[in-house]
């Protein structure tokens, strides 16, 4: 069945081509009106529609709504195999297969409805009837509309239902089908058999942003075509070329190399990576009791990590002192699936509250020099009288394990890392204005007086250089910065155009 991106692709094309054009005639083939109009009177249908102009074309979930000038709306549901195809009068001579209905327009355009399964339905509704139409009243929040927000989605996840089934329920969220549910769960690292109310805050956000960006990417490629779906131009969708998990049973996971598995959930196929999308403990027992069946008899957990090096991302945070980079990196590490914080070697003294080993490894100057000489430090810098460096082995092991890396660097270090690794994404964290950063610097108790004077003098210079960053976040509040960062991470992970490389160059 066409899902949200496919239906929106059709709606956009129809609106562009048919807006303000007048319907001159309608023909049904082989009494197809009996099923398509669901028993409604054909003469009444023709009288209500012929002679009317197309005022607008909209989407409601998986329904297409063609608004006509007489305040009549054609509500079309394509179901499994329906197609809406636009053309010129030559389509009369070479009609599409499974033709069921033809709309003719005064400018010569023809809109054909083709349907192999003869399930397409057309409903005629007055404008006053739209909002009370039973099918529309049951629709949940639309994943392609502005009403689909993190807070709205969080409210939907407070349920004990299995998430795969929940996301397919159009009364909960509309516009998603099985293809995109599989993709979004994979990108969020969530097993399709998990219960929605078992998710952490980070998992809910990961799933929300996966849905948002997968839908946008699919829409940009005209949807997904495996069999019958076509755009009104007759073109196939192209997003199937970018699917990461759906229908990939037996193939390697793009992230970690583990073999993709398939299970059945309520009669629908769910594809997943048994290493990246795990289900544990009581949840596993509950899932099995609900009829989730493994086709390979496994417990969904890989025994060993793949040795294959994967092309994952390095997210680099840059920005001035006291802008909140360290706080942000720690929250991202704790709440974003598949993201590990790579610590930085530092020769300065440890400050109060710093967690050694998490984001910092403190060394003497001699130890730092020894590691640098042995090639164990990928990048290094001398800032405010101290040495800073990136441990190459920690960075490599993070990426090879199928994780993305997060690291804090100077602008120069970010440039150097980009030269080494094309998969480096630089996120600049900016203050709302320099006065705020100066005030934060003055209030920091972990700085010595000397450090405070040096940092205040360097506030403007430390603000990241334009042109280095791929994305920029304004540090208005910790929660806003976190949401912006997660949004960026998933825009990159879901992108179908960003470069990926399997090679750590020069190592």
Report the DSSP beta bridge partners of residue 263.
270, 294
Convert the pLDDT of each residue in 29-68 to its tens digit: 989 999 999 888 999 999 999 999 999 999 999 999 999 9
Convert the pLDDT of each residue in 157-193 to its tens digit: 999 999 999 999 999 999 999 999 999 999 999 999 9
Percent of the chain surpassing pLDDT 70? 84
pLDDT at 148: 95
Residue 396 clears pLDDT 70, i.e. is over it:
yes
Dist CA 72 CA 124 (whole Å): 7
Residue 280: CB atoms within 10 Å:
11
What's this model's pTM, rounded to 2 decimal places? Answer: 0.83
Convert the pLDDT of each residue in 323-364 to its tens digit: 788 889 999 999 998 899 998 888 988 877 666 667 888 899
pLDDT at 38: 84
Q: Which letter, b or e, does each residue of 327-356 get, where b requires 16 or more Cβ atoms within 10 Å of its Cβ? A: ebbebbbebbbbbbbbbbbbbeeeeeeeee
CA distances 149 to 190, 211, 306, 441, 495, Å, are 19, 11, 36, 34, 20
pLDDT at 58: 96
* Sign of the dihedral through C-alpha 475, 476, 482, 486: negative
Mean pLDDT along residues 245-254: 94
Convert the pLDDT of each residue in 183-226 to its tens digit: 999 999 999 999 999 999 899 999 999 999 999 999 999 999 98
pLDDT at 284: 58
Residue 310 clears pLDDT 60, i.e. is over it:
no
CA nearest neighbour of 175 among 383, 184, 131, 74: 184
Residue 144 clears pLDDT 50, i.e. is over it:
yes
CA nearest neighbour of 220 among 501, 500, 498: 498
Residue 28 clears pLDDT 80, i.e. is over it:
yes
Dist CA 340 CA 337 (whole Å): 9
For the CA atoms of 17, 21, 23, 27, what is the dihedral angle to 10 degrees?
-20
Going by C-beta distance under 8 Å and a sequence separation of 6 or more, which residues neighbour residue 479?
Answer: none
pLDDT at 500: 37
Residue 487 clears pLDDT 60, i.e. is over it:
yes
Mean pLDDT along residues 118-139: 92
Q: Which helix (H) or strand (E) holds 104?
A: strand 99-105
Q: What angle do CA 224, 252, 212 make, to 5 degrees?
A: 40
pLDDT at 189: 92
DSSP 8-state code for residue 129: H
Cβ atoms of 380 and 389 within 8 Å: the answer is yes
Percent of the chain surpassing pLDDT 90? 58
Mean pLDDT along residues 461-465: 51
pLDDT at 506: 32
* Sign of the dihedral through C-alpha 397, 399, 405, 410: positive
Q: What is the set of active-site residues?
A: 2-3, 62, 268
Q: Which letter, b or e, does each residue of 457-495 get, where b requires 16 or more Cβ atoms within 10 Å of its Cβ? A: eebeebbbeeeebbbbbebeeeeebbbbbbbbbbbbbbe
Higher per-residue pLDDT: 301 or 63? 63
* 157-171, 290-304, 389-403: range with lowest mean pLDDT: 290-304
Cβ atoms of 3 and 175 within 8 Å: the answer is yes
Mean pLDDT along residues 271-295: 69
CA nearest neighbour of 157 among 201, 107, 221, 112: 201
């Amino acid at each position: 069945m066409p899902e949200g991106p496919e239906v929106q692709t059709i709606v956009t094309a129809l609106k562009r081509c048919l807006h303000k054009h007048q319907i001159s005639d309608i023909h049904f083939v082989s009494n197809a009106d009996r099923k398509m109009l669901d028993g409604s009177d054909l003469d009444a249908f023709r009288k209500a529609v012929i002679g009317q102009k197309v005022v607008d074309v909209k989407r409601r979930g998986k329904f297409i709504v063609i608004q006509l000038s007489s305040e009549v709306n054609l509500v079309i549901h394509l179901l499994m195999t329906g197609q809406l195809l636009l053309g010129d009068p030559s389509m009369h001579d070479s009609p599409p297969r499974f033709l069921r209905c033809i709309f003719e327009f005064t400018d010569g355009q023809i809109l054909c409805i083709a349907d192999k399964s003869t399930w397409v339905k057309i409903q005629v509704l007055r404008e006053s009837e739209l909002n009370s139409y039973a099918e529309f009243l049951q629709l949940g929040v639309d994943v392609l509309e502005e009403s689909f927000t993190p807070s709205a989605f969080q409210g939907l996840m407070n349920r004990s239902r299995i998430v795969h089934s929940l996301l397919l329920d159009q009364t909960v969220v509309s516009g998603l089908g099985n293809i995109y549910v599989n993709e979004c769960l994979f990108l969020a690292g969530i097993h399709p058999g998990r219960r929605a109310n078992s998710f952490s805050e980070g998992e809910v956000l990961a799933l929300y942003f996966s849905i948002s960006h997968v839908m946008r990417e699919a829409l940009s490629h005209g949807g997904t075509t495996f069999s019958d779906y076509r755009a009104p131009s007759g073109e196939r969708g192209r997003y199937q070329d970018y699917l990461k998990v759906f229908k990939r049973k037996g193939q390697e996971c793009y992230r970690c190399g583990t073999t993709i598995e398939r299970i059945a959930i309520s009669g629908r196929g769910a594809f997943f990576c048994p290493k990246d999308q795990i289900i544990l403990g009581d949840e596993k027992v509950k899932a099995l009791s609900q009829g989730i069946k493994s086709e390979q008899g496994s417990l969904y957990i890989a025994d060993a990590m793949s040795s294959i090096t994967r092309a994952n991302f390095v997210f680099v945070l840059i920005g001035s002192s006291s802008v909140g980079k360290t706080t942000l990196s720690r929250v991202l590490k704790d709440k974003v699936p598949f993201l590990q914080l790579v610590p930085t070697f530092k020769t300065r003294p440890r400050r109060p509250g710093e967690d050694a080993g998490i984001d910092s490894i403190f060394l003497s100057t001699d130890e730092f020099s020894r590691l640098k000489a042995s090639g164990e430090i990928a990048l290094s810098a001398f800032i405010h009288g101290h040495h800073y460096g990136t441990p190459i082995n920690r960075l490599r092991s993070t990426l090879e394990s199928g994780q993305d890396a997060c690291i804090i660097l100077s602008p120069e270090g970010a440039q150097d890392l980009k030269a080494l690794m094309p998969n480096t994404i630089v996120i600049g964290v900016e203050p709302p204005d320099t006065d705020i950063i100066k005030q934060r610097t003055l209030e920091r108790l972990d700085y010595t007086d000397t450090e405070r004077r040096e940092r205040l003098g360097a506030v403007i210079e430390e603000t990241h250089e334009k042109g280095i960053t791929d994305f920029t976040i304004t540090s208005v509040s910790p929660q806003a910065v976190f949401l912006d960062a997660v949004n960026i991470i998933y825009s990159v992970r879901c992108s179908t155009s960003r470069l990926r490389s399997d090679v750590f160059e020069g190592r």
